[in-house]
Amino acid sequence: MPEEVVDGLYEAVEYAGLNVESLTLEPIAAMNIAIPEQYRLLNIGLVDVGAGTSDICLTKDGCIIAYGMIPCAGDEITECIAKTYLVDFNTAEKIKMSASSKKKGLVTFKDIMGITQKVDALEIRNAAADVVDAMAKDVAEKIIELNGGKPVNAVFVVGGGGKIPGYTERVADCLGIPHQRVAVRGEEVLTSVDFQVDNFKKDSLYVTPVGICTNYYTQKNNFVFVTVNKERIKLYDTSNLTVVDAVMQIGFPNEKLFPRRGAEINFTVNGKSRLVRGSAGEGAVVTLNGRPANLHTPIEQNDIIVVTESTVGEPASITIGQLEEFNSQITFIVNDKTIVCPRFAYVNGELKSEFYDINDGDKIRMENFYTVAQLFEFLDLDYKTLNVTVNNEPADKNTKVYENFTVRTSSLEEYNENIMASEKLQESEETDDKVAEEPVIQPLDITITVNGQSVVLSGKPDYIVVDLFQFYPFDLTMVRGNLVFLHNGNDADYSSPLNDGDVIELRWEDK
């Protein structure tokens, strides 16, 4: 029952100057009479069909696992008969009882007009059949709901409303179990009860009242009183109460019973979402009568329970250097030497070191290139004093250098001397009598194979490997793994000569 109902009952009794000696629920009282303890290992249902409600109780594994109620019972049948045969409620009740006890034969009564009616018992039952069907369906659905979505193995029916012929069969049909597994319990469970009345007929009507009476002798108090965190509470004694029942009764927050994680960090790396969880804290600490316990420890009358709420773990923490992407490297070829460099990480557009603590909401981008300025800073060289080429093309500080690109340098002095020598030679040639003219080198077309596809290179007298990117579409800036770049079966060098018939293999390979 709802706590406010129980509290109201106790307060009313105390207001009258009395004490509650015994309190029980009707279906549980009926269960104690109709279903002996040795049967309760089975998954059985009991339905007490009273006047206004049908009370339901279920057993399994030796104990009562659920109880419930539907607001539909014997009075529904009585009202149907009253409307059908134009009689008052009390007369309809007598008609119902007669029709229930007689398999066949006539039922005699007077309607509100004073006319004597004689109606066959079967006809009366047929008139109430729709109501009986609806009651049976509602009861079956409630049983399935209370039993976790499946029917019980058998059902015992007590109370006057369940005696009408056809009711037990309809309950069985709605549950999908054999008819013989739904039965009315009456005289057979009351054999040990002496009513001390001559010719007293024992039937299902008296199962619940007898159960309420015997409950007084078998259970002196239906509640267990315990103290939780200095608050005294009462719990209905289900015979298997545990600490968690008492803790939930005082409204202790469920989330504070179990370990709680610290704050998590959500961020993105190259546009992909990442989540790092905080560490788990400690669960709630429970003591029972001063001794260590847990949430599933059984409790008894007057136990003292102390619960200390669980703790929150440490918040999530991760640095740039702990990212898998940061630990990958980029390889460049500088003046014919292989240089291995760490990747650069940009957080929200700003360059950050490997020691940066990632914050919630950060947007991280791991670049797949260095600029010339960044590369020479890593090499601890001053690019301003050098002439720099990337893949044999002039480069400045902002030129991007990708995986396996070739970088060459020469001093500015050497570079300027080469330019001056070239200019002097040109002047000498112009002032010469042009005794001999420099031969003209004609452009040469060559055909190579790239990834099995023929590609024609044209417009230059000779070619190097890097030239193929002018004629074959391959985007080095969109990194999708490790670059596989083979020239005639060997690792390609961007500055190697490229000849007619050469074979190039070029693709991204998963890391």
Q: What pLDDT digit, counting tens, does each position of 280-339 carry? A: 899 899 999 999 999 999 998 889 999 999 999 999 999 988 888 887 788 899 998 988
Burial of 98 (0-12, 13-18, 19+ CB in 10 A): middle
Band of residue 418 on the pLDDT scale cut at 50, 70, 90: very low
Q: What pLDDT digit, counting tens, does each position of 92-134 carry? A: 999 998 888 877 789 999 999 999 999 999 999 999 999 999 9
Asked whether the predicted pLDDT for residue 467 surpasses 70, the reply is: yes
Band of residue 415 on the pLDDT scale cut at 50, 70, 90: very low
In the chain the domains, ranked by start, together with CATH numbers, are 3-218 (3.30.420.40), 223-308 (3.10.20.30), 320-431 (3.10.20.30), 444-509 (3.10.20.30)
What sign results for the dihedral spanned by CA atoms 447, 448, 450, 453? positive
- How many Å apart are CA 319 and CA 332, to the nearest integer? 26
A 10 A CB-CB count for 96 gives 25
Cβ distance 402 to 371 under 8 Å?
no
**Which has the closest alpha carbon to 77: 134, 138, 125, 131?**
131
222/268: higher pLDDT: 268
Quick one: how many helices (H) and strands (E) in the chain?
Answer: 12, 31
Asked whether the predicted pLDDT for residue 438 surpasses 70, the reply is: no
* CA-to-CA dists, residue 81 to 17, 109, 136, angstroms: 44, 12, 18
Asked whether the predicted pLDDT for residue 437 surpasses 60, the reply is: no
Return the pLDDT at 417.
47
**Which has the closest alpha carbon to 251: 296, 309, 174?**
309
Structure tokens at 52: 């206004």
Return the pLDDT at 422.
44
Q: What pLDDT digit, counting tens, does each position of 127-170 carry? A: 999 999 999 999 999 999 999 999 999 999 998 888 888 999 99
Q: What pLDDT digit, counting tens, does each position of 177-200 carry? A: 999 999 988 877 787 788 888 878
Return the pLDDT at 511.
64
Return the pLDDT at 192.
78
Query: What is the chain's mean pLDDT, rounded?
Result: 85
- CB within 8 Å of 260: residues ≥ 6 apart: 280, 281, 310, 311, 312, 313
Q: What is the pTM of this model?
A: 0.44
- How many Å apart are CA 65 and CA 361, to the nearest integer? 48
Return the pLDDT at 220.
53
Asked whether the predicted pLDDT for residue 40 surpasses 60, the reply is: yes
- How many Å apart are CA 400 and CA 371, to the nearest integer? 4
% residues pLDDT > 70 (the chain): 91
- Tell me the mean pLDDT in the region 70-97: 92
- Token pair 């009764």 in the structure block, residue: 249
